[in-house]
Amino acid sequence: MTTALITGSTAGIGAAFARRLAADGHDLVLVARDTGRLRVQATELHDRHGIEAEVLTADLATDEGIEAVATRLGDRRNPVDLLVNNAGFGNKGRYLEAPMADELRMLKVHVEAVLRLTSAAVAAMRERGRGGVVNVASVAAFVPRGTYGASKAWVVQFTQGAARDLAGSGVRLMALCPGFVRTEFHQRAGMGTDNIPGWLWLDADKVVAAALADLARGKTVSVPDPRYKALMGAAKLAPRGLLGGITSKTGRKYGPR
């Protein structure tokens, strides 16, 4: 039986990955900051699907949290076959409106943690000649919109470059770039959603299903919905200033999870 480790597993896309992977028979390592929620999630998934669900409490905005997860990923006796780097958050407001400490915390979680955890996982996977990594980015990576979009653009570029370097190793890497997904993301960031058209919202379980299918096909970037594929195609042709103006109407983040 294979094991998947999911960061930010207790809500949103992370929880959807946990549900789907458990249903498919994978054991899980569930990572988040809230121990109570992790234990409830682990118990529910174990009781429903008969899988083993390990709980790892870690704050990926800290060196200690990142190192704890990296150590688990590097455990050769209990290998992780699939890493889902999902943990993330958004800041409310435009550039210079968010405190610098929050901006740096975002970079710690979205960039440094993704780099360190991917590297820990891939080093062990390459030795075994198999494994996979899904780094959850966002369609925000493709539009000019502040620190969040910049951090997700880094995730996409890093994942594509690493995937190229690891070609032929048996290890697959993919950046997942969803649009607006109905999760706790906006509420936690204090963002309103009333101005977002209903047709832009995606279902987290469908996003995960599309992502896993794309990973199996060997894609290095997944935009999991025809509507967003069309929008991103249009984005390549639209003036960047126009795109920045459009995304500013939705607050700090475009394409949340």
**DSSP track, 175-209:** EE----BSSSHHHHHT---TTS-GGG-B-HHHHHH
User: Which tens digit of pLDDT belongs to each residue from 145-201?
Assistant: 799 999 999 999 999 999 999 999 999 999 999 988 865 544 554 444 556 656 577
**Phi-psi sector, 181: left (phi>0), alpha (psi -120 to 50), beta:** beta
User: Which tens digit of pLDDT belongs to each residue from 195-246?
Assistant: 665 657 789 999 999 999 999 999 999 998 777 777 776 665 454 444 444 4
Alpha-carbon dihedral sign for residues 29, 35, 37, 41: positive
| Averaged pLDDT, 3-29 | 97
Does residue 257 carry a pLDDT above 50? no
Half-sphere exposure of 253 (CA within 13 A, CB side): 28
CATH superfamily of 3-248: NAD(P)-binding Rossmann-like Domain (3.40.50.720)
Contacts of 192 (CB under 8 A, 6+ apart): 186, 251
User: Which tens digit of pLDDT belongs to each residue from 24-81?
Assistant: 999 999 999 999 999 999 999 999 999 999 999 999 999 999 999 999 999 999 999 9
User: Which tens digit of pLDDT belongs to each residue from 100-125?
Assistant: 999 999 999 999 999 999 999 999 99
For strand 171-176 and strand 3-7, is the pairing parallel, antiparallel, or unpaired?
Answer: unpaired
Token couple for 179: 């649009």
Express as a percent the part of the chain with pLDDT over 70: 82
| Catalytic residue check, 148 | yes
Give the strands of the sheet with 27-32, arranged side by side: 53-57, 27-32, 3-7, 82-85, 131-136, 171-176, 221-222
Candidates 256, 254, 251; CA nearest to 97 is: 251
Please report the pLDDT score of residue 29 as a whole number. Answer: 98
For strand 131-136 and strand 82-85, is the pairing parallel, antiparallel, or unpaired?
Answer: parallel
Please report the pLDDT score of residue 247 as a whole number. Answer: 45
Half-sphere exposure of 133 (CA within 13 A, CB side): 29
Contacts of 150 (CB under 8 A, 6+ apart): none
Measure the CA–CA gap between 227 and 213, rounded to whole angstroms: 18
